[in-house]
A and B are shown apart, each in its own frame.
Chain A
């Protein structure tokens, strides 16, 4: 499932996953899911900024600055952030645990013992269907962090992981 296309050195290739040893990256298509998601968040903000500039700040000395700044940030977020999220998102399903790492600036590394899993979802939203991805949602009984989500999987992979985890589930309080 790794990108076999890119023979570039990892330092140059911005798309190459940067994960701890043994972790699998998620599908590259997940970047598109993120792009559309971010676009859907930032487009309204950009439009709002344009509206404010054209209707509220008509007399303001620096008219247009707001739109430019917001538009620029939106563009940067939509183009740069998805690949950065994608290359730091990885998972590993071992015999007894599911490990998910994400993020660099605020790095989180989650480990769920499979015996503790309460139930499992495979979720596919409209964007997931469009780009051929699926999310695996693992519910534990914990009060903190009781829902662990792993997005950007191939639907087959998600199903296979679900079956693999299901065999491990057993309740140990009656």
Chain B
């Protein structure tokens, strides 16, 4: 038993239940205050309606509760690091003991919000990825001292790679890390510019048109700019008389807001982005205010996704994501390992992962058949014709215009995705490209395919085609990896080849 437990006797002793950092009671106050908002509103309402004593009672209860809650939580939560697993005991009335074997921990992630950083603490998230459909992480230790968190992580990692920490050697880092990819300030700025979101602009435009006038901030109205510029300047009045100017000024301000939103979002998330190769995987650190430190074991990687947008593509940048058994965060399932990387940087990361270089040859893609369009048009054209006919009969020009525009947009995007969709076998991997505006390229190792479905709808049958759907672990159920509208015979042959089973 020269194992993990023996090494760090004071902190990670086997059998010693550990408590969280006492200051957790302080860092959790934010949560408590957030929860107390409802009570505060209630108290204000009661006080307003004259029920002073009930309001007072409510406030007193909330104050006592808020003060006691973190204490009780702190007292009730213990964790115990064992030889090959961790036990977490929590709960007050219904006690819950959870045991997580180190073998099953897929990710050990550290997260530090600004307060944590100030107090040298960290929130540890252990993910087992086991629960299908489970929305919450399996083991959260919120929060312990940063040094302890790092040591816990090292212990788990060492356990997995089979390396035992030598007793005398606790202070030196076990991991030999090598930087694989990093974003400097310029790159973060650039990524922010590319994150310029049309959606934000759309929402703002809508808001400006609907409630903007009431709120007095409609940048498409001359009065808005007149007030800004100060009244009485004849030149300003002259310029503002021209509606084209207000339109341009409005648009420009929306674009600026969209740019700023993208910049701020990106800077908060990706500031100081570094990716390192550790013994077992990739370690990613990023964040401006809230730091996250995520280790992604390479054995858990199921697929690689390269995504680019229309402008980013022009400059040769792409986003590299890895689909893994674990989830990156609550609202992103794939792990971003490079938000904005050149082809060469992507190659470096791929190489560091121990994967074969990506096949960047633009030839040899198998394209979908025209059934991809025909099936769509066969349904879409009669609908459009019907809609247009109705509009004409009703003599409704606006409706006809809208229908024509919608039909054109849908057909155009379908045509574009038809032109870009394709698949290609690359040795022991299969690549699928999809999307036209935001293009995605999936690189799926054959030994990560869990199942393959071939689907044929009645229309597919008519055209003699089928779709191939890949069952891949991890990721989200919504986005499915699929190859559409390939000849059914080819699909059968491809599937047999991919699975290595010539039926």
Contacts and interface: CB of A to CB of B under 8 A. Distances in A.
Interface of A: 22, 92, 94-97, 99, 105-113, 116, 140-146, 148, 172-174
A166 B45 CA distance: 64
B300 to A, nearest CB: 6
A96 B449 CA distance: 14
B454 A109 contact: yes
B471 A146 contact: yes
B456 interface: yes
A24 B172 CA distance: 62
B501 A143 contact: no
Nearest to A92: B503
Given A111-B495, A144-B469, A173-B300, 20 more contacts: A22-B503, A97-B501, A105-B458, A106-B455, A106-B457, A107-B455, A107-B466, A109-B453, A109-B492, A113-B499, A116-B449, A116-B451, A140-B471, A142-B450, A142-B470, A144-B481, A145-B450, A146-B450, A173-B325, A174-B103
Nearest to B103: A174
Q: How large is the interface on B (under 10, 10 to 19, 20 to 34, 35 or more residues)?
A: 35 or more
B499 A143 contact: no
Contact of B471 (A96, A106, A144, A173): A144
B476 interface: yes
A146 B473 CA distance: 8
Contacts of A142: 450-451, 470-473
Nearest to B106: A173
Interface in B171-207: none
Interface of B: 103, 132, 160, 299-300, 325, 447, 449-458, 461, 466, 469-477, 480-481, 492, 495, 499-501, 503
Chain B interface mostly: mixed
A172 B447 contact: yes
B428 to A, nearest CB: 13
B299 A111 contact: no
Select the residue from B132, B474, B475 with max chain A CB neighbours within 10 A. B132
A105 B103 CA distance: 45
Nearest to A139: B132
Contacts of A108: 453-456
B476 A96 contact: no
A158 B454 CA distance: 24
A110 B453 contact: yes
Nearest to B456: A107
Contact of B472 (A94, A96, A143): A143
A148 B455 CA distance: 15
Given A107-B455, A110-B453, A148-B451, A141 B501 contact: no
Contacts of B458: 105-106
B478 to A, nearest CB: 9
Nearest to B482: A144
A107 B466 CA distance: 9
B456 A106 contact: yes
B499 to A, nearest CB: 5
A148 B500 CA distance: 20
B77 to A, nearest CB: 29
A146 B501 contact: no
